[in-house]
Structure 1
């Protein structure tokens, strides 16, 4: 089970920011996972341009957000609100960030 499965670990808008000030301006990479594929190696080496690799998720399934291998949130894909047509994620669940846990 992950911290996201326990509602007591969810962060709310009223949760105070406990990040030390020295780290607040440091960028960090967040990976958004939309699904997984498990092709056979023999099929993988045959992939070419325009090939379609089926995933284990549907178009409307939630996506998962990771920092490293740690699941930090889940959400729904949507179009960015800045009008650029880029993808964005609307968060539906957020794990509490704890030291060492």
Structure 2
């Protein structure tokens, strides 16, 4: 009999209730949108500035696929991760019924 790898050890309570709880998902953070004319889009080059519909301090939106799951504020991490962006959640959707 072979030993199970460490990541195949006994699942925690949440994983026993829902085997998909340990599956990673991709979350997209939307910081804003823009609608340039095609001629303006074709004129873009390095160092061009493309204004968005939001301000720096406006909330960002978090999506899984097309589903809005939360809103939050961008912030910069400190310490060993200094300079890395993060999102502090300010609103979270009720996901008890799933993402569908």
Query: Which bracket does the TM-score occupy, shorter chain normalised?
Result: 0.7 to 0.9
Measure the CA separation in 1 of the matches of 2:30 and 2:65: 12
1:58 aligns with 2:55: yes
Aligned length: 85
Bigger relative contact order (CA 8 A; separation at least 6):
1
1:93 aligns with 2:94: no
Instruction: Point out 4+ residue stretches in structure 1 off by more than 4 angstroms.
Output: 17-20
Measure the CA separation in 1 of the matches of 2:28 and 2:54: 16
What runs of 5+ residues in structure 2 fail to find an aligned partner?
Answer: 1-13
Root mean square deviation of aligned Cα = 2.1
TM (norm. structure 1) is 0.75
What runs of 5+ residues in structure 1 fail to find an aligned partner?
Answer: 1-16
The structure with more radius of gyration: 2
TM (norm. structure 2) is 0.76
Measure the CA separation in 2 of the matches of 1:29 and 1:19: 22
Partner of 2:20: 23
Measure the CA separation in 2 of the matches of 1:19 and 1:36: 40
